Amino acid sequence: MNEILSMLYLWLKSAHLIFVIFWMAGLFMMPRFFVYHQESPVGSDEDAKWIEREGKLRKIILNPSLVIVWVVGLALAYDIGAFSQGWFHAKLLMVLALSGYHGWMIAYSKKLSRGERTMTDRKLRLVNEVPGIAAAVIVILVIIKPF
């Protein structure tokens, strides 16, 4: 198994980075969709279009990217022996938190589709900063490996 992973390492690393980019793009887009969605009247044609857009973003980009990032990322971590390194534990914690954020966004999109608007536009705009901050921390952990 290690031999196969080692032979494919650069391909897997490339795939991991590509799908991280896709996932992050979706994590940045969805809260913006929420801001615009909340401006549409419940039950309107525009509301239905936002529900459809959010569903497509979820099904085509966010969820598949999340799965691929996790599967390929764990394979890479196994291949390089990262599970014993402190920087990796911190990165793993950040990715778990980002995955929780992903789950929250999925739940909020379902609330919006039911006509529930529980957050203000301002809070949604603030929430939109979460993936950027997490990405910055993760990149520093992976590149610099501070511990």
Burial readout 9-34 (b: 16 or more C-beta within 10 A, e: otherwise): eeebeebbeebbebbbebbebbbebb
- Concatenated DSSP letters of 91-125: HHHHHHHHHHHHHHHHHHHHHHHTT---S-HHHHH
Residue ranges in the chain assigned as alpha helix (H): 2-7, 9-38, 45-56, 63-80, 86-113, 121-127, 130-144
CA–CA separation, 27 and 9 (whole Å): 26
91 is in an annotated binding site: yes
- Is 16 labelled a binding residue? yes
Q: Please provide residue 43's backbone torsions phi and psi, each rounded to the nearest 5 degrees.
A: 85, 0
Question: Can you say which residues are annotated as belonging to the binding site for heme?
Answer: 16, 91
Question: Can you say which residues are annotated as belonging to the binding site?
Answer: 16, 91
